[in-house]
Amino acid sequence: MKQISFILAAAIVVAGCSSNSENAKKDSASGTAQSGAAAATTAGASDAQLTGAGATFPYPIYSKWFSDYAAKTGVKINYQPIGSGGGIRQLSEQTVDFGASDAPMTDDEISKAKGGPIQHIPTVLGAVCVTYNLAEVTKPLNLTGDVVADMFLGRITKWNDPRIAALNKGVTLPDRDIVVVHRAEASGTNYIFTEYLTKVSTAFASSPGKGKEVQWPVGLGAKGNDGVTGQVKQTPGALGYVELAYARQNKLPTASIRNAAGQFIQPSIEAVTAAAAGVAQKLPANTDYRLSITNAPGAQAYPISSFTWILVYKTQTNADKGKKLMDFLKWALHDGEQEAASLDYAPLPAQLVTRLESTLTTIKVGATP
């Protein structure tokens, strides 16, 4: 986890110099990752050879990948962690070379993209954690999906509610209000979390339902995984949902969630890997990798697990950029995947990597749409 403080740092634009790395670490430590990232991306955009935007969920590992790849090849990649919705919009408008999302694009979104058909490339798997700020509670709480849903619906408003207490016998829960914190913008983390809740709660499925952006009935909005993390960290009684690396970096507790097999599971690399077990065998014959693994079967599966995707046009009209992008993706599927576990992500199954290698060869580089 020593690498995470660098990865959650401000300097998202890749640079080879050590002074930038040190500044990034300081920004992360002082809690200014989002504002620092915005400044860094603006400052470095002019010399970037590839540009991307989107999800904050994989930002820690993408940031490390872009740094390592620049050091190895000299190719600089400027990435803006603006949320999955923003990444999809910018790719659709062709203002970036690639997008990144934790929510697969819909057929309608793909049809409206100005550059033609879009290929989803799974990169890693991760976990969305239910996290909270209760200094009085020293062991991880057990929660079920329906209880979590009712907390975010505003139906359970106190931490010592009988339904929470029944799941945590022997734990003294405080008579404290639950302060819900949710994402304020269109977000893939939103999509993963709400997709899971719609599978385990008919009330949540009815309203607000699943989506990158939903109408939350209660709570405070915060921007990005780092924004939700910061809000939970500074608010006693807060309840939120963030990617695993953000919770661990900020030493926030994570709830054990009851899975489809009835087991309470802590988010971990192993539990995410268990959620993806067998996915390679279930892939369709085509190259549509828009797969869901929330509430997956398996005794050890963590139920709020997901792939995250890089989004690219199937026809790359700019031959130089197209080649650079394909070369980076091939590197990420091999060298990059080896770093996943150390950064709290699960690497892709080997069979899926083999399929993706074949898919990348179908991307037309330097062609006319």
Question: What six digits make up the tokens of 309?
Answer: 């995707």
> How would you write the chain as a 3-class SS string?
CCCHHHHCCCCCCCCCCHHHHHHHHHHHHCCCHHHHHHHHHHHHHHHCCEEEEECCCCHHHHHHHHHHHHHHHCCCEEEECCCHHHHHHHHHCCCCCEEEECCCCCHHHHHCCCCCCEEEEEEEEEEEEEEECCCCCCCCCEECHHHHHHHHCCCCCECCCHHHHHHCCCCCCCCCECEEEEECCCCHHHHHHHHHHHHHCHHHHHCCCCCCCCCCCCCEEECHHHHHHHHHHHCCCEEEEEEHHHHHHCCCCECEEECCCCCEECCCHHHHHHHCCCHHHHCCCCCCCCCCCCCCCCCCCCCCEEEEEEEEECEECCHHHHHHHHHHHHHHHHHHHHHCHHHCCECCCHHHHHHHHHHHCCCEECCCC
Q: Which residues pair with 315 in a beta bridge?
A: 364
Q: How far apart are CA 28 and CA 10, in angstroms?
A: 6
In contact, 57 and 243? CB cutoff 8 Å:
yes
Predicted structure pTM score: 0.84
Angle among Cα 342, 343, 349 to the nearest 5 degrees reads: 75
In contact, 298 and 278? CB cutoff 8 Å:
no
In contact, 197 and 303? CB cutoff 8 Å:
no
pLDDT of residue 281: 66
Q: Which amino acid is at 265?
A: I
* Domain parsing of the chain, residue ranges: 4-126+306-365, 128-275
Q: Which amino acid is at 335?
A: D
Q: How far apart are CA 96 and CA 98, in angstroms?
A: 6
Show Cβ contacts of residue 202 under 8 Å, excluding neighbours closer than 6 positions: none
Q: How far apart are CA 255 and CA 190, in angstroms?
A: 17
* Tens digit of each residue's pLDDT, the chain (369 residues): 434 443 333 333 333 333 333 333 333 333 333 333 333 343 345 577 999 999 999 999 999 999 999 999 999 999 999 999 999 999 999 999 999 999 999 999 999 999 999 999 999 999 999 999 999 999 999 999 999 999 999 999 999 999 999 999 999 999 999 999 999 999 999 999 999 999 999 999 999 999 999 999 999 999 999 999 999 999 999 999 999 999 998 999 999 999 999 999 999 999 999 999 877 667 776 778 998 999 999 899 999 999 999 999 999 999 999 999 999 999 999 999 999 999 999 999 988 999 999 999 999 998 776
Angle among Cα 68, 69, 71 to the nearest 5 degrees reads: 65
Half-sphere exposure for 19 (CA within 13 Å, toward CB): 0
Half-sphere exposure for 68 (CA within 13 Å, toward CB): 18
Is 128-275 the same fold as 4-126+306-365?
A: yes
Positive or negative, the CA dihedral 191, 185, 237, 242 is positive
Q: Which residues pair with 120 in a beta bridge?
A: 311
- With respect to CATH, is domain 4-126+306-365 assigned 3.40.190.10? yes
In contact, 120 and 288? CB cutoff 8 Å:
yes
Q: How far is CA 235 from CA 21, 179, 228, 241, 300, in A?
A: 30, 8, 11, 14, 32
Q: Which residues pair with 179 in a beta bridge?
A: 238
Fold of 128-275: D-Maltodextrin-Binding Protein; domain 2 (3.40.190)
Q: How far apart are CA 225 and CA 181, in angstroms?
A: 11
